[in-house]
Structure 1
Amino acid sequence: MTATPTGLDDTRVTTVLDEIARTAEHNDPDVMKRAYATAADWPQPPTAEEAADLCAQAALPVHPEVGTFLYQLVRSLRPALVVEFGTSFGASTLYAAAALRDNGGGRIIGSELHPGKADRARGHLERAGLDAYAEIRTGEAREQLATLPGPVDLVLLDGWKELYLPVLKVLEPALRAGSLVVSDNLPMLPPEFTDHVRTAGNGYLSQQLPLGDGIEFSLRLQDTA
Structure 2
Amino acid sequence: MNSLETPKVVGVLERLFGEAETTDRSAIAELLDNTEPGADPVATALDAEVSDYKEFYHRSVQNFLCVSPVFGRFLYICGRAVNATRIVEFGTSFGVSTIHLACAVRDNGGGLVVGTELEQAKATRAYGHLKEAGVDDLVDIRVGDALDMLSGGVGGAIDLVHLDGAMSLYRPVLQLLEPHLRPNALIVAENATPDYLDYIEDIATPYVSLPLPFRDVRGNELTVFTG
TM-score w.r.t. the length of structure 1 is: 0.87
Size of the aligned set, in residue pairs, is: 213
Distance 1:181 1:45 in 2: 22
Equivalent residue number for residue 93 of structure 2:
88
Pairwise CA distance, 1:36: 8.5
Amino acid at match of 1:204: Y
Amino acid at match of 1:135: D
Pairing partner for 1:198 from 193, 196, 201: 201
For residues 214 and 191 of structure 1, do their structure 2 counterparts lie closer, same or farther at Cα, with a shift above 3 Å needed?
A: closer
Equivalent residue number for residue 4 of structure 2:
8
Pairwise CA distance, 1:35: 7.6
Where structure 2 has 5 or more consecutive residues not aligned to the other structure, the ranges are: 35-43
* Same amino acid, percent of matched pairs: 38
Equivalent residue number for residue 155 of structure 1:
161
Q: Is the 8 A contact 2:118 2:146 kept in 1?
A: yes
> RMSD of the TM alignment (CA)?
2.3
What SS is found at the alignment partner of 1:206? strand
Pairwise CA distance, 1:34: 5.5
Amino acid at match of 1:143: D
Where structure 1 has 5 or more consecutive residues not aligned to the other structure, the ranges are: none
Equivalent residue number for residue 150 of structure 2:
145
Equivalent residue number for residue 23 of structure 1:
19
Runs of 4 or more, structure 1, over 4 Å off, are 32-40, 43-46
Pairing partner for 1:217 from 208, 211, 222: 222
Equivalent residue number for residue 80 of structure 2:
75
Pairwise CA distance, 1:119: 0.6
Query: Are 2:101 and 1:105 equivalent residues in the alignment?
Result: no
Distance 1:145 1:77 in 2: 22
TM-score w.r.t. the length of structure 2 is: 0.87
For residues 192 and 44 of structure 1, do their structure 2 counterparts lie closer, same or farther at Cα, with a shift above 3 Å needed?
A: closer
Q: Is the 8 A contact 2:8 2:132 kept in 1?
A: yes
Once the two structures are superposed, the pairs formed by residues 41-52 of structure 1 within 5 Å of their partners are 46-52=51-57
Q: Is the 8 A contact 1:108 1:135 kept in 2?
A: yes
Query: Are 2:119 and 1:114 equivalent residues in the alignment?
Result: yes
Distance 2:223 2:184 in 1: 10
Q: Is the 8 A contact 2:159 2:182 kept in 1?
A: yes
